[in-house]
Amino acid sequence: MEKYFRLIIVIVLGLIVISFLGFKKTYFGLFPHFEGTTWIVHFHVFTILCWFAMLIAQASLAKSGRIGIHRKIGRLSYLLAPLIVIGFALIANQAQLKHKAPDLFGATLFDASLFILFYSLAIINRKNTAFHARYMILSALPFINPSLGRFISPAVSLPVEFLIILTLLLTAYFNKRPYRPYLVAMGSLVLLLGIIIYISMIKPAIIESVWLAIWG
């Protein structure tokens, strides 16, 4: 399991770099005054950075065998994860109140849903170290989409997310390691993406009616 704890650290550190680059113009580059930035944006960014820090700390503690401290810090996720979801909701509400953008709402719904799913599965499997570690790795991946999408292009972010999960899946499978979490993640990503595409592009009246029910 030691290599999976190292993998979590590498993925999260990579995400921090991508997040900084993706949001440099609209957030990090505005330091220290952050002119025009609302408390909602600060809250959203703070909770996500806390999640990244927790993942790195948890992986480092597990890697060094300090499981007791690992579990104590892990209990903080029961508070932090709901705060992250609230942050998703607040930032989506702020964006839609500024200008109508159902596609952006769909993207936020996609990312938030994947985070909730992977974190929930990590907690459900907390007594199964192999599954728990893999789902915690996966809980960081939904943050690739908004960060890489802004840094390069939304057309790049989802394929990258897909390729990362596929690589993890194939690596685990051919090395005869537990791969079911990655298989679940792959199926969930494809299914959820299909739903978002359906309600956003094929049947836009659905997401339009949802938008009107909330912000109309």
Per residue in 183-196, pLDDT (tens digit) is 999 999 999 999 98
Confidence band for 11, pLDDT divided at 50, 70 and 90: confident
**Terminal Cα distance for the chain, rounded:** 49
44 burial type by CB count under 10 A (0-12 exposed, 13-18 middle, 19+ buried): buried
Looking at the predicted structure, is the pLDDT value of residue 207 above 90?
no
Residues 178-181: contacts with CB under 8 Å, at least 24 apart: 178/130, 178/131, 178/134, 180/131, 181/121, 181/125, 181/131, 181/134, 181/135, 181/138
Asked if residues 9 and 60 have their Cβ atoms less than 8 Å apart, the reply is yes
Count of structural domains within the chain: 1
Which residues, other chains included, contact 62 with Cβ-Cβ below 8 Å and sequence gap of 6+?
1, 5, 70, 133
Range of the domain at 26: 2-215
pLDDT band at 68 (very low <50, low <70, confident <90, very high): confident
Residue 42: both structure tokens together: 């600060």
Query: Which residues does 132 contact at the CB level (< 8 Å), separation at least 6?
Result: 122, 125, 126
Residue labelled with tokens 């029961």: 78
